[in-house]
Homo-oligomer: A and B are copies of this chain.
Amino acid sequence: IINLYVGGGWNLSWSSRAAEEAEAVAAISCSGHGRAYLDGLVLDDEKQPLCECNTCYSGPDCSQFIPNCAADADEGDPLFLEPFWIQHAANSAVLVAGWHRMSYSYNDKTVISKVLEKHIRKLHSLVGNAVTEDRFIIFGTGSTQVISAAVHALSPDNASSPARVVASIPYYSLYREQTDYFESMHFKFEGDASPWINTTNTSSTNLIEFVTSPNNPDGQLNKAVLHGPYVKAIHDLAYYWPHFTPIPAPADEDLMTFTLSKLTGHAGTRFGWAVIKKKSVYERMTMHMELNTMGVSRDSQLRALKLLKVILEGKGREIFEFGYKTMKARWEILNQTLSLSNRFSLQKIPPQYCTFFQEFRESSPAYAWLKCEREEEKDCYAVLKAANIIGRRGYMFSAEDRYVRLSMIKSRDDFDALIERLKELVSEEESVVKGT
């Protein structure tokens, strides 16, 4: 490998081909309604990857709007942050050499990059959303794997009956799906936390409570509802970032989980982490990661590091201003759109003082938790579906189907389509009112 340092910069040698490939792909025009990727499909007679179009667009350059296409507000795909990374293209790109980190372990024989860990601690301290001093940190392949490891680690090894895993309704369905799937002699999903509230002092049942704050789906800053000698909690703080909520104080719980997905928007990188007080829990979760996947992809760790560096360079102001502004604007537009409706209502989240922005801030939730108010409209998902809107039914969150979750964190195109469809729905309502 020959490198020449010429004047003010490197005269690139081995890396230039990869850089050129990436720029060529980035230069493919998809009309702002799609994107071409380095690993996209290439047709046999073409050299360049095809445009991958957003939901309501098609054509070779994604320029054709598909009329009457459904507005998809189902998934929590955090593409609202994509424009931020396009704006910070130069700082956020990573060139991975062919021989980068081939080994199973870093230099210290672990599967965790200590440099990345340090950056995570710095970020929490900057944002003020979690205490990390004297805490252990482990990584997982998305917070998906982290919460699974946490359930395993908090379950007693030698109890006569499995720990019951519970959460306050409405809750994120993965808790149920994942715990059911991995059910063992040590833990079992039980569902609603509320029946246990008055029993924790008298019963010796081991309980593991998922506490999600802000909550998915409804954005509330939940607190644990169960307390007692046999109760443990997993605090899922995926959304506890200034994009989505004022940060009243640093969280200081025994076990807190986070994910890159809802911080930088990189869901595809599959990177999550936990901040842990107890050494024994940390050790069990570390063992889980070793036996399940031998740790997290070193490529994901490299990418996460680069992204966190960009955030830290801007002292967090840039990305969180961008995220908050975007989410706040969307929430306002949605509220405005539904303001004349008697048929639909949205959750209310009180404003709070945000220690990061150092001012009172309105909420800017990741999801709308929409309620169909008409007595007869018990299946709110179907009501929206009929209006060409795909939400996620309340049932998925163990709540009434009178509720639907609408994702506000997808791409601009998805959000625009959602608002268009909702406007149509609300205007029908008005014309019916006027008609009577």
Contact = CB atoms under 8 A, between A and B. Distances in A.
A39 interface: yes
Contacts of A75: 104-105
A72 to B, nearest CB: 10
A267 B98 CA distance: 13
A20 B10 contact: yes
A183 to B, nearest CB: 6
A388 interface: no
Nearest to A94: B96
B178 A291 contact: yes
Contact of A20 (B9, B40, B41, B103): B9
A393 interface: no
Given A79-B103, A103-B79, A268-B297, A89 B85 contact: no
Interface residues of A, number: 100
A265 interface: yes
A145 B292 contact: yes
Contacts of A174: 291
Contact of A10 (B13, B24, B301): B24
Interface string A169-182: 00000100110011
Contacts of A271: 297
Interface in A2-26: 3, 9-10, 12-26
A100 interface: yes
A338 B298 CA distance: 37
Contacts of A85: 97-99, 102
Contacts of A265: 102
Copies of chain A in the complex: 2
Interface string A266-297: 11111100000000000000011001111111
A90 interface: yes
B77 A17 contact: no
A301 B271 CA distance: 14
Contact of A15 (B14, B93, B301): B93
B307 A303 contact: no
A88 B266 CA distance: 29
Given A3-B27, A93-B97, A269 B299 contact: yes
A268 B82 contact: no
Max chain B CB contacts within 10 Å: which of A40, A181, A292? A292
Given A22-B15, A92-B98, A268-B104, A1 B297 contact: no
A98 B269 CA distance: 11
Contacts of A297: 141, 268-271, 296-297, 299-300
A26 B41 contact: no
Interface in A125-143: 140-142
Contacts of A305: 39
Interface of A: 1, 3, 9-10, 12-27, 35, 37-42, 52, 75, 77-79, 81-82, 85-86, 88-105, 107, 113-116, 140-142, 144-145, 148, 174, 177-178, 181-185, 261, 265-271, 287-288, 291-303, 305-307, 310
Q: Would you list the 6 A-B pairs with minimal beta carbon distance, nearest first?
A: A92-B98, A85-B98, A268-B298, A14-B89, A22-B95, A18-B93
